[in-house]
Structure 1
Amino acid sequence: MASSSYFLLAALFALVSWQAIASDPSPLQDFCVADNNSRVFVNGVVCKDPKDVTADDFFKAAELDKPRMTNKVGSNVTLINVMQLAGLNTLGISIARIDYAPLGQNPPHTHPRATEILTVLEGTLYVGFVTSNPNNTLLSKVLNKGDVFVFPVGLIHFQFNPNPHVPAVAIAALSSQNPGAITIANAVFGSKPPISDDVLAKAFQVEKRTIDWLQAQFWENNHY
């Protein structure tokens, strides 16, 4: 009985420990400004000496105020993460501006390390995410200016501007200093080296020539 109780406690401790490291770690000091010149590699970025920190380490001038040219899928993501703003290191947050052309989209993708909260600044967006297996339920909504929507960490999600004449703009906040992104089409059909067309043909239940055609396309990468 004692050994069973010990095993249960050990399992609970392991679960709690795993949850504690499943997102960006909490800071243990006022700040840890990224030292991008360090040759030391850690899970994150090495801290600069606090004596060398200035206000500019926490500042980015007018980066998100200007419209951006959109790409072939009709969107452009301007990300501010720890690589652009060293003061974000260990703080577990980043931000992005997303511009959408008329009928443009931010195609289905995931953020492996972050939940995203999106606010529409201008225009209208049709947004949604898909729950995990086995249900794969689509939860979607049409958003207008000022509306907010949350995409849970790791789930496939998208945004689409349904207006054929008017662009849209949104701001996204993400719960990681480096949220990462996996664009579904790019990852599946544009990997380097490519995934075997035998594997993909069976997975998608289509002919190999369809897979070969998809793999021959240029897959735009605009993700944060």
Structure 2
Amino acid sequence: MACSRAIASDPSLLQDVCVADKTSPVLVNGFACKDTKDVAAEDFFFSGLHKVGNTSNKQGSAVTAANVAQIPGLNTMGISLARIDYAPNGMNPPHTHPRATEILTVLKGSLFVGFVTSNPNNTLISKVLNEGDVFVFPKGLVHFQFNYGTGNAVALAALSSQNPGVITIGNTVFGSKPSISNNILAKAFQVNAATVDLIQAQF
């Protein structure tokens, strides 16, 4: 009787740097590497996380990303950052990162945060965080943050991917193009089609 076992993870770096060449026509899982003779300090630099995000939107939050799109030198490094600003009662709505675990640190204010475990239990794991507190959101699980305080709040999120991706549940389910048909959503959420229409209109 034969048995085999495989362990998979992101590959280790095979060179010092692989700065993303966003002009390359080569399609790879990530970005092709820029010629090392063209690598410069600016490829590893981003200035913007000190700026307050514009929270005057329906959610009352703003995410300022610092991933491979902003910092080409992050290519193949497996990390990224984001600043999240929250107005009073603002939230980063339920979402997932399909390619990353997230660790969040509250820099200012107070947040109610949580994630939900997968089927069949769908258990909410939640906590109120204050300045200096840290919370981890496991890779792929639906999670959220809500400004629990009366003033503005700010958090810094570190993610275990150069390009973690984000799937915002409401936008994905009710704002897809083309739309998911009403009868499917009505059955999935156990509501009538008119309720689905009302929700879809918000997106």
TM range, normalised to the smaller chain?
A: over 0.9
Q: CA RMSD in A?
A: 0.9
Identity of aligned residues (%): 68
Task: Looking at secondary structure, tell me which structure has more strand per residue.
Answer: 2
Q: Secondary structure at the match of 1:117?
A: strand
1:195 pairs with 180, 184, 187, which one?
Answer: 180
**Alignment length, in residue pairs?**
202
Q: Secondary structure at the match of 1:149?
A: strand
Residue 75 (structure 1) shift: 0.3
2:161 pairs with 150, 160, 176, which one?
Answer: 176
Q: Deviations over 1:163-211 (max 9, x none)?
A: 2x30100000000000000000000000000001100101111001100
The residue that corresponds to 1:160 in the other structure is: 146
Distance in 1, matches of 2:11 and 2:29, equals: 10
Gaps of 5+ in 2: none
TM-score by structure 2 length?
0.97
Written as runs of structure 1 = structure 2, the 5 A alignment for 1:14-163 is 16=7, 19-20=8-9, 24-61=10-47, 63-70=48-55, 71-163=57-149
Task: Looking at secondary structure, tell me which structure has more helix per residue.
Answer: 1
1:207 pairs with 188, 192, 197, which one?
Answer: 192
Bigger Rg, which one: 1
Gaps of 5+ in 1: 219-224
8 Å CA contact 1:118, 1:170 repeated in 2: yes
Distance in 2, matches of 1:26 and 1:115, equals: 18
